[in-house]
Structure 1
Amino acid sequence: MENQNMSASIRKPLPPEHFIVHGTSAETRWEALRGHGEITPNELFFVRNHTTTPLIDVDTWRLRLWGTGLRRVTEYGYRDLLAMPSETLTAFIECAGNGRRLFTEQQGQPVHGISWRLGAVGVARWRGVRLATLLERSGLKPEAVAVMATGLDADYIEDGVNHGRVRRPLPLAKAMDDVLVAYEMNGRPLPPDHGFPARLVVPGWVGIASIKWLGDIEVSTEPLSSPWTTRFYRTAAGEPLREVVVKSAFELEWGARLETGRTHVLHGRSWSGHGAVTRVEFSADLGATWHPVSLIGRPSAHGWARWTVSWTPTTRGEHRLLARATDASGAVQPSHTPSDGTGYQFGAVAHHPVTLV
């Protein structure tokens, strides 16, 4: 199904020049982002669905907060959220499996799951209400330790096992820090594929944490779990995935054809869940030598660093372009990412193929 230009589970158009469809999900082609600035337009933003995008009646929709960690059960309608003090946050959301295909293509390791290259990521300007505000208004207890949001999409069934609706817990410290209950994306109400009428935005963390189509939020005085922490989206050691690793990508068609003997201005983006990207380097000789690129604008803690580099190739044939980023924590993209077969968190320097003619 990978090369289809439409998906029965996704509502928005998926023109093949902009997307690669993977069953119920759709990957943005990096060359489609060229010239679009920091923000990924809604119509180009990747889609990760476990089932089908639901169409929700906003007039009857309610967000219910409940659990042993709250003093009372509270419900909010859409207009209730719009009436509260709002915040705006520019942040990326990225599927934890982004880059999974490169485990096989680049490292020769078999993995399971959606075969994303690097297009399961996008940056948007989100507007909404801080999750901390809703928790406090619902009477958050001092002994609360965990928060779990549940979406309103259909139950997820795999190999005959019904895992229920998509849901995933957050530690209370993260929930109270910078998590947003967003109802707006890039100045417009959330599109259906991106969580209308409300979704979580969990900055820096893997995309599964940013639950779409919010229906309820449980707050507990005991640790919480779900199949999305015990079965899916875990590290090799069994710990739930959290922060996104540092990555880089070129705004260039995979396998692009470029002319020799002329200077090409290459564009790209780098991002990390551990802080702003502070440095990016470029190599056209498989890492034998590295050259700094020119960063565009100021580093962004939750967005990405945009960059350019000039390159004048002289030799025809097959080549690989490499970009290597360093983030504010000091993390540098490695040359190799160990694989446990799940295909999560590929963070190695990607080898972008081009043909010089």
Structure 2
Amino acid sequence: MSDELTDEAAYAWPRRGRLPHEDGDLETRWEALRGAGHHTPTKQFFVRTHTNVPRIDVSTWTLWLHGDGLRDGPVAMSYDDLLSFPQEDLTAFIECAGNGRSYYTSQQNQRVEGTAWGLGAVGVARWRGVRLSHVLEAAGITADALDVMARGLDDPYLKHGRDLGRVRRPLPVAKAVKDVLLAHEMNGEPLTPEHGYPMRLVVPDWVGIASIKWIGDIEVSTGELHSPWSTDLYRLFGLGHPAEGSAPLTTMPVKSAFELPHGARVTVGCDHLLTGRSWSGNGAIRRVEVSTDGGSTWTEARIVGDRRPHTWAQWELPWRPERRGPTELMARATDESGVTQSKGQPHNTLGYQFAAIIRHPVTVI
């Protein structure tokens, strides 16, 4: 009997770590994470860019902090200045708000805009850097500061002929000083250019757009700040939502994924080990249930390792299929806030935050 999930044939076709999209974004292949450890290897971590990957000379790079929320005016900090602060490690997931977007179409027959991600626009890394709160305190943030807005150094973004400027998105000061990291390392190595070198924000649990890469400046304001990435984008639009859209998206919902290809072939009468990962911006994962018969019956999976916030829980379930033919694997997680994944997801036109249970087809041979 085999203790592997599938025959070698089930893994032969997509062993490489990332799937390219037409717009140049790169999506992690979930089957490549099987046996890879808790952290997503940097070379398999998804890549989302709006325009380009800038090449930055760290010797001349400066982080500018400015705005009426600073006591003594603008402050400039070099890379070495930031390395002189106390450094911290943070294991956390970053996830594109559109992760799972393709399932609005494939599972719910609904049209949406944007990159047709499967579930691979998420990754967990060990980030190292300085708390944003320490940097803001050193820059002289005032007691009445309300919002901060980081801006990247990638090229301005054009959408439908409109210049939206460089990618930027406001954060409330309360979140910025709570747990946000200004990171310069990823998985024990300096950030690569595609992941934000030389410095990026890591905003735990929130939509990935908040974790600005290639950061160049931070505005600190005593009033509300806005950008197209908080007004025109990264809100929920469409039927059932206000005309101006929902409030700007913040926390990511609970999700689950199997570590095997869609359409995998498994051998009847053999012992297999189903593995996967579940995560939530609302806290640690409390429970994961798996169905091997399209949702007719459910069995609780065993969570492997600690249950922690900001990162995913790895899980496993032995399976011995007894009948040949197609079936659907399904996984649903419950986070510590008590939210459990549902069978469907309310539609929004930009296809954000798909969190319904994914129907994962396999064939038993």
The question of a shared fold, defined as TM-score above 0.5 by the shorter chain, is answered with yes
Class of the TM-score when normalised by the shorter of the 2 chains: over 0.9
Relative contact order: is structure 1 or structure 2 higher (C-alpha 8 Å, sep ≥ 6)? Answer: 2
Matched, 1:18 2:17: yes
> Corresponding residue for 1:88?
89
Q: Which deviations, in whole Å up to 9, do the C-alpha atoms of 1:157-194 show, x marking residues without a partner?
A: 11111100000000110001000000010111001000
> Corresponding residue for 1:160?
161
Q: Quote the Cα distance in structure 2 between the aligned partners of 1:78 and 1:88.
A: 18
Q: Percent identity?
A: 57
Q: Is the 8 A contact 2:17 2:43 kept in 1?
A: no
> Corresponding residue for 1:272?
280
Matched, 1:44 2:52: no
Q: Quote the Cα distance in structure 1 between the aligned partners of 2:338 and 2:204.
A: 19
Q: Quote the Cα distance in structure 2 between the aligned partners of 1:287 and 1:68.
A: 55
Paired residue type of 1:39: H
Tell me the CA shift for residue 109 of structure 1. Answer: 1.0
Q: For 2:339, which of 331, 336, 345 is the aligned residue?
A: 331
> Corresponding residue for 2:59?
59
> Corresponding residue for 1:223?
224
Farther off after superposition, 227-236 or 141-150: 227-236
Match runs of 1:77-226 below 5 Å: 77-226=78-227
3-state DSSP class of the match of 1:36? coil
3-state DSSP class of the match of 1:58? coil
Q: Which deviations, in whole Å up to 9, do the C-alpha atoms of 1:283-330 show, x marking residues without a partner?
A: 012222110001001101011000000111122222110000000100
Q: Is the 8 A contact 1:204 1:302 kept in 2?
A: yes
> Corresponding residue for 1:10?
none
Paired residue type of 1:297: G
Farther off after superposition, 54-63 or 19-28: 19-28
Mind listing any 5+ residue stretches in structure 2 that lack a counterpart? Answer: 1-13
User: What's the TM-score, normalizing by structure 2?
Assistant: 0.92
Q: Which deviations, in whole Å up to 9, do the C-alpha atoms of 1:39-86 show, x marking residues without a partner?
A: 111111000011111110000000000001111211111111111111
Tell me the CA shift for residue 24 of structure 1. Answer: 2.4
> Corresponding residue for 1:240?
248
Mind listing any 5+ residue stretches in structure 1 that lack a counterpart? Answer: 1-14
Farther off after superposition, 111-120 or 15-24: 15-24
Tell me the matched-pair count: 343
> Corresponding residue for 2:11?
none
Paired residue type of 1:47: V
Tell me the CA shift for residue 16 of structure 1. Answer: 7.6
Farther off after superposition, 281-290 or 93-102: 281-290
Q: Which deviations, in whole Å up to 9, do the C-alpha atoms of 1:169-220 show, x marking residues without a partner?
A: 0011000100000001011100100000000000000100000000000000
Moved over 6 A (4+): none
Q: Which deviations, in whole Å up to 9, do the C-alpha atoms of 1:220-246 show, x marking residues without a partner?
A: 011001000111111234211100000
Q: Is the 8 A contact 1:24 1:52 kept in 2?
A: no
Q: Over the residues paired in the alignment, what is the CA RMSD in angstroms?
A: 1.0
